Amino acid sequence: MLDPFYGMHWMLATPFDQNEEVDYDSIPNLVNKAISSGCTGVVGLGVMGEAARLTDRERTKIAETIIKSSGNLPVTLGTTANGTKAMIDRSREAEQIGAAAVMVSAPSMPKSNLDALFGYYYQLAEQLTIPIVMQDYPQTSGVEMPVNFIVRVANEIPNVKYLKLEDPPTPTKISAIRNKIQDRMGIFGGLGGVFLLDELRRGSIGAMTGFAYPEILVQICNEYKNGKSEGAEKLFYDHLPLIQFEQQEGIGLAIRKAGIHHRGLISHPTVRHPAGQLAENTYKELLEMIKRVGLK
C-alpha cells in the first residue's frame, strides 16, 4: 500500500520585506503554488524557512498562516529546539493548531550522545499523537545519525514514522536502512533534490525540499510511482543543472529565494542577517540557468 505521504512536500521559505520583517501576505502565495503544483504537502519552519532566525511569536504566526492557507493540504512544521522541553512545547503547539506532522532535527550537543538523542525523540513521541519526521542533517545539526541508531528509532519509537535523510551519499544510506527495517519508516530525500532519482530507486517515498520549481519534482515522483522510469529520468536530467545551481553551499537559500521571487510568489528575496543577499552576477547566472533548462 502506498504511503499517504508519498510525493513532494515543498519546504516553504519564510518571506521577508526589505526591512527583514516577515511578509505574512506572501505566505498564501507559496502554499497555493504547492497546491497547484500537486504537492503532497508543505513544510514550514525548517532550515529553508530560516527558523533559527525567527522569534517565537513570529514562528507561531507563520505556522498559523500556513495552516490557514493550506485547506486540506497536510502541513508539517519544524519544531527543533536545543532543549527537549522547548522542542516538546513547540511540537504540542503545532499539533494543537492543526499540523499533520512535525519535523525534528537533532539538537546541538557537545558530543554525539546517541542515548540522549534517542531520549529526545522518545520523550516527544510520548507527548504527541501526530507523526514525527526525524531529520538527519549533520551539516546543520553537527550530529551524526548512524544507520543502527535510525534502525533503533524505527523499531522502538513507532510514532517516528518518517526520516528526512540529508546525510550524503543518501542513496547508499537508504539501502542500508531499508535492508534492516524494510518499510517500517518512510524515507524522504532533501538537499534540493540533487539525489532524488537515485533515492526513489533505492526506496525513498519522495522529497521534502525547497527547490523553487516544485512542480518538476512532483512530476518526477509521479512518473516514478506510475512505473514510467524513463520519463522520470528525462525530467530529472533536463532540470539537474538548475537543481545543482540552487544547491550551492552557503548561498543556496539566497538563490532559492531569488528564484521564488522571480516567479512572483514573494515580494522580495531578502534573507535575514547575518546571511548575505545574493550577488547581482549570481542572480544573472540564475536567470540564464532557468532559461537554459526551459523554465519561465
Q: Count of domains in the chain?
A: 1
In a domain, 85, yes or no: yes
The answer to whether the beta carbons of residues 125 and 95 sit under 8 Å apart is no
Alpha-carbon distance of 244 to 251, in angstroms, equals 12
Q: What is the pLDDT of residues 164-187, one digit of tens each?
A: 999 999 999 999 999 999 999 999
Does the pLDDT value for residue 9 go beyond 70? Answer: yes
In a domain, 119, yes or no: yes
- Which residues on neighbouring strands pair with residue 101, listed in sequence order? 76
Q: Determine phi and psi for 104, rounding to 5 degrees.
A: -130, 120
In a domain, 248, yes or no: no
Alpha-carbon distance of 185 to 177, in angstroms, equals 9
Q: Which CATH number characterizes residue 28's domain?
A: 3.20.20.70
- Which domain, by its residues, includes 198? 7-229
Q: What is the pLDDT of residues 209-258, one digit of tens each?
A: 999 999 999 999 999 999 999 999 999 999 999 999 999 999 999 999 99
Burial 150-160 (b: 16+ CB within 10 A, else e): bbebbeebebb
Sign of CA dihedral 209, 215, 216, 217: positive
In a domain, 216, yes or no: yes
CA 269 to chain CA centroid, nearest Å:
19
In a domain, 97, yes or no: yes
Quote the mean pLDDT of the chain: 97
Sign of CA dihedral 92, 97, 101, 104: negative
In a domain, 292, yes or no: no
pLDDT band at 1 (very low <50, low <70, confident <90, very high): low
* pLDDT at position 2: 82
Cell of 276: 548575505
* pLDDT at position 212: 98
* pLDDT at position 138: 94
In a domain, 2, yes or no: no
In a domain, 87, yes or no: yes
Q: What is the pLDDT of residues 116-136, one digit of tens each?
A: 999 999 999 999 999 999 999
Alpha-carbon distance of 138 to 59, in angstroms, equals 23
